Amino acid sequence: MEDRAASAGEHTQTPQLRRRLGRADLRAVPEARRALRELLRTWGRPGRSDIAELLTSELVTNAIVHTDREAVLTATVGPGGLRVEVRDFVARRPRLRVPNADDGTNGRGLFLVQSLADAWGVQPHGVGKAVWFELDAGAA
């Protein structure tokens, strides 16, 4: 985990978590949750950090399971709230599916992100993409 300063010339520190996620390493999911919990120890209204942990674990799991490549998790706490981004190196965009009772526990990740995040999206990069969400610290 890294705490990094905001842009050069700013006087305030922007708390940030940055973690490389190993290829097919599902141990990264609870490790990411623990690191995010530490970052958000005093952030937001009660329950907001729990939602952030849940959504982060969904994005991390998706990147590890569906890409078979490494990924990078970045979480930044700023004046507007929390932004979490998981960047992978596969161009294929994730599909939002409405959960079906016959799917068991599969297929619910992005549906949860869409339902619980204040904003979310997918941003293409030169190689791969970043799936991100944002949470306002004060929202109920």
Q: Look over the chain and give the mean of its residue pLDDT values, rounded to a whole number.
A: 85
pLDDT at residue 129 tops 90: yes
> Residue 103 has what pLDDT?
59
pLDDT digits (tens, 9 = 90+) for 54-101: 999 999 999 999 898 999 999 999 988 999 999 999 988 887 777 665
> Residue 105 has what pLDDT?
60
Please give the Cα distance from 21 to 61 (Å, whole number).
Answer: 10
> Residue 95 has what pLDDT?
79
pTM, 2 dp: 0.84
Give the phi and the psi of residue 104 in degrees, each rounded to 5: 65, -125
Length of the chain: 140
Q: Tell me how far the alpha carbon of residue 26 is from its chain's centroid.
A: 15
